[in-house]
Structure 1
């Protein structure tokens, strides 16, 4: 199932906004690609590239984050919660 960017929760930081999901589970395939399972069951699991997996090394409890221009990255939960708050 594909993830639709516009449906991701939006968070506000001091200088920018991001889209993000807390990670419940990460599964890595033999080919290096991965599947991220969001903690919020409203969102489907989704695939990420091998490049994302090797560069970011996402972990359970952290956050899958996308900048507003669409660049994906990973943040540890403590760092994320210090920098961003959910927009209502």
Structure 2
């Protein structure tokens, strides 16, 4: 009888929920190590890398908040570091 009471009094084991992180950076630009999360602009990245290969200089110009930094950091830099050129 005592054993039953002990069992009933035990608290159930509750696992700690895994911390869920949002993969999108919000208003800050993507960083190079987030290249796997930066998708949908592969065509732009490829075109800019091709231009850079021909001219050896590339100016990325656009309005504020249009994704210039993300395109360069997460779209181009990983390819360049990987030996694209």
Tell whether the structures are fold-level matches, with TM greater than 0.5: no
The TM tier, using the shorter chain, reads under 0.3
Larger strand fraction of residues:
1
Q: TM-score by structure 1 length?
A: 0.24
Output the TM-score relative to the length of structure 2: 0.24
State the structure with bigger RCO (CA 8 A, min sep 6), 1 or 2: 2
Structure having the higher helix fraction is 2
